[in-house]
Amino acid sequence: MIANANANASRHAAIDRLDRTTARLDHALPALNDHAAKATAWLGIEDRSRRMITIDGHTIADNDSEHLVAALQNMLRTKYIDARQVNSDKPIDMFTIGGITITGRYSRISDVLQLSATPGGHRHIDHTKAVEAMSSATAARGIIQQVRNLVKVLPQDATDAHRQLERARTRRDELAAIPDAEFTRTEELARARYTLAELKAEVNARENSPEALASRGEDLDRRRSEGLYPKWSLDLNPTRAHAEKEKTTEAALAASVPDKMAAYAEQWNAGADDRAQARTNDPWKPRSADGSHFQYGGDRDSGQAGASIHWTDRAWHWTAWSADGNKTSDFEDRRDTARHAAEAALKRFEKEPAAAAAGQEVTLHADTARDTGHPHPLKAMLANQTPTTPARNREHRPQPAPTRGSGTDRGL
């Protein structure tokens, strides 16, 4: 589907570029054809004494090298130097050959004199070469020869432009005749997306269920009570960089691990009452012995704002309500994320009490409903489903201790 969209976009972009090319050539060709005809006529004069070049208003025979050089040198010393002094990049009429005007323009960026037949080609003269031509007849004759060459190629430039225009039109018609590619495997893609979402929901059910959180909490308690402090394994097998960061040697750092473990275990065990008190003070109160349901604030029918989260066997479903009766809800993979989302919804209710009418339920899936025509997104539908495989053993699940799992994913 994405590949088809990219191919269509690339083809349309190519058509746009070809349209711009044909428009540019259509606009330039009449003048270029006129230049080509004039250049052909001028080049067809075999007697160079009858073939004229105008430099700065002075018309001189093409074979009068001395006067051509003098006229060019005078123009370089005046008009060109003046333009460079004021950093002007406006075109200067420098030559007229067979009715074709050759302009000169000083480029401040590259410090060159650009000679142009517009439309037509260009020649670039380095500033050092232009300065040299002011006093050197040989260098000046070289610039004049470049001007002749510029005129000489105009007929071929016109022929090439006609060929380019024809190729651009042909290619543009070929691309325009190609229909847009359509993705025809929509149903297969939808099934694959559903399968992927279902697999993710299954994995989430194993990693973020109340049982999994309680098990991780018990394992953390055990490890900390045994003194397994954070990064203890890195201290036990330190790298040179880690030892340098700790400002000690690798051997000394490894030898310090038993003492650090003993001190950490003592500190952890001494904080058991503080952790228990923190669970007691947690505003999220357990409403089930298995850690699958927690509530924050007042009951829904008490007239007080509050929120709740509960496990649906696939995800954590949170609901928040205001004292006015407004309600919003959604699903989250993690328990702590569900808590934060519910608390954030309560804060929004406080800041925007008039955002919704009293008693109105705010759905977080309105955009999805508008875009897809379905009132529930795939994640919500999967979260509401009960997994078949884990259900067989649900009756034999061990129940965590009532004092454990106050709604945080650490299970402490």
- In the block, tokens 């999220």 appear at 284
**DSSP structure string for 330-376:** EEESSHHHHHHHHHHHHHHHHH-TTSS-TTPEEETTHHHHHHHS-SS
- Distance between CA atoms of 173 and 168, rounded to whole angstroms? 9
List the chain domain ranges: 2-175, 190-215+279-396, 226-270
What is the per-residue pLDDT for 351?
86
Q: Please state, in angstroms and as integers, the Cα–Cα distance from residue 161 to each residue in 20, 100, 240, following that order.
A: 14, 18, 68
User: What are the average pLDDT values for consecutive 10-residue runs of the chain, which has 412 residues?
Assistant: 82 95 94 95 94 94 95 94 88 94 92 92 93 95 95 95 95 93 81 88 88 92 93 92 92 94 94 92 92 92 92 91 91 93 93 57 44 46 52 40 43 36
What is the per-residue pLDDT for 392?
36
100-107 and 112-116 beta bridge pairing: antiparallel
**Full-model pTM:** 0.48
Q: What is the DSSP letter of 78?
A: I
CA within 13 Å, CB half, 79: 19
361-363 and 327-332 beta bridge pairing: parallel
